[in-house]
A and B are shown apart, each in its own frame.
Chain A
Amino acid sequence: DVKVTQSSRYLVKRTGEKVFLECVQDMDHENMFWYRQDPGLGLRLIYFSYDVKMKEKGDIPEGYSVSREKKERFSLILESASTNQTSMYLCASSLGDRTKNIQYFGAGTRLSVL
């Protein structure tokens, strides 16, 4: 079974802090994604990556950056956390087949910024 592991289930940070959310997948997937999920808004894509050291902006990249130094790891960085970044963050991975793109999700990180 594919396993996507997010480093923290719950995280509490203060405004202005630099925050790292880590995601690791164990199935050698080429694609990795970061979403945020908010009530009434569904999932919104922040950033994605199709290969090591490669990144593409999603729908809401402002205030975020990402890093993919190794194929299995995709990090989401909040350079200076703000209260409007309080949300559930979901990481996903998929094989490189762009005709299918079945995504496997981690359990999520619920981030609170105070």
Chain B
Amino acid sequence: SQQGEEDPQALSIQEGENATMNCSYKTSINNLQWYRQNSGRGLVHLILIRSNEREKHSGRLRVTLDTSKKSSSLLITASRAADTASYFCATLPIGGADGLTFGKGTHLIIQP
């Protein structure tokens, strides 16, 4: 069942600005992951944060996790036109029997 909910559904910013997307979920998790999807393509894994971690960095990406609020945020710094894509959060529930549960995504547009 769908658990993650991204916010906002769509975001348009100027190149060079920072983009922040949020994700909320409902049940206890083992980890939370962010994926990117370019138009008409498959999803690509970006970053994973475990439930006992609060923040993680990878290049221009910064992910935070607040398990008490059941929420996460993805920050993309110094955005580029190539960052235009849809971004999905996915949660792995404790037990993980059914695999990942994906949200509906945030569509990010970077204006040149």
User: Which A residues have a C-beta under 8 Å from some C-beta of B?
Assistant: 4, 31, 33, 35, 40-45, 48, 56, 58-59, 88, 90, 92, 94, 98-108, 110
Which residues of A lie under 8 Å from residue B105 when comparing CB positions?
42
Which residues of B lie under 8 Å from residue A105 when comparing CB positions?
42-44
Q: When the two chains form their complex, are residues B88 and A43 in contact, meaning their CB atoms are under 8 A apart?
A: yes
- Report the minimal beta-carbon distance from A36 to chain B, rounded to whole angstroms: 11
Which residues of A lie under 8 Å from residue B41 when comparing CB positions?
107-108
Q: When the two chains form their complex, are residues A104 and B45 in contact, meaning their CB atoms are under 8 A apart?
A: yes
Which residues of A lie under 8 Å from residue B102 when comparing CB positions?
35, 42-43
Q: How many angstroms between the C-alpha atoms of A62 and B97 in the bound complex?
A: 20
Check A59/B1 contact, CB under 8 A, given A48-B98, A100-B48: yes
Which residues of B lie under 8 Å from residue A100 when comparing CB positions?
31, 48, 92
Q: Number of residue pairs across A and B with beta carbons under 8 Å? A: 67
Q: How many angstroms between the C-alpha atoms of A12 and B44 in the bound complex?
A: 26
B33 at the interface (CB under 8 A from A): yes
B30 at the interface (CB under 8 A from A): yes
Which residues of B lie under 8 Å from residue A40 when comparing CB positions?
104
Q: When the two chains form their complex, are residues B103 and A42 in contact, meaning their CB atoms are under 8 A apart?
A: yes
Which residues of A lie under 8 Å from residue B43 when comparing CB positions?
43, 90, 92, 103, 105
Q: How many angstroms between the C-alpha atoms of A35 and B42 in the bound complex?
A: 11
Q: Specify which of B30, B42, B44, B98 is in contact with A56 (CB 8 Å cutoff).
A: B98
Q: How many angstroms between the C-alpha atoms of A74 and B101 in the bound complex?
A: 20
Which residues of B lie under 8 Å from residue A99 when comparing CB positions?
30-31, 92, 96
| Interchain residue pairs with CB less than 8 A apart (12) | A42-B105, A43-B43, A58-B98, A90-B43, A98-B30, A98-B96, A99-B30, A99-B31, A100-B31, A101-B99, A101-B100, A104-B45
Interface residues in B83-103 (C-beta closer than 8 Å to A) = 88, 90, 92, 96-103
- Report the minimal beta-carbon distance from B21 to chain A, rounded to whole angstroms: 14
Q: How many angstroms between the C-alpha atoms of A83 and B33 in the bound complex?
A: 33
Q: When the two chains form their complex, are residues A44 and B96 in contact, meaning their CB atoms are under 8 A apart?
A: no
- Report the minimal beta-carbon distance from B57 to chain A, rounded to whole angstroms: 17
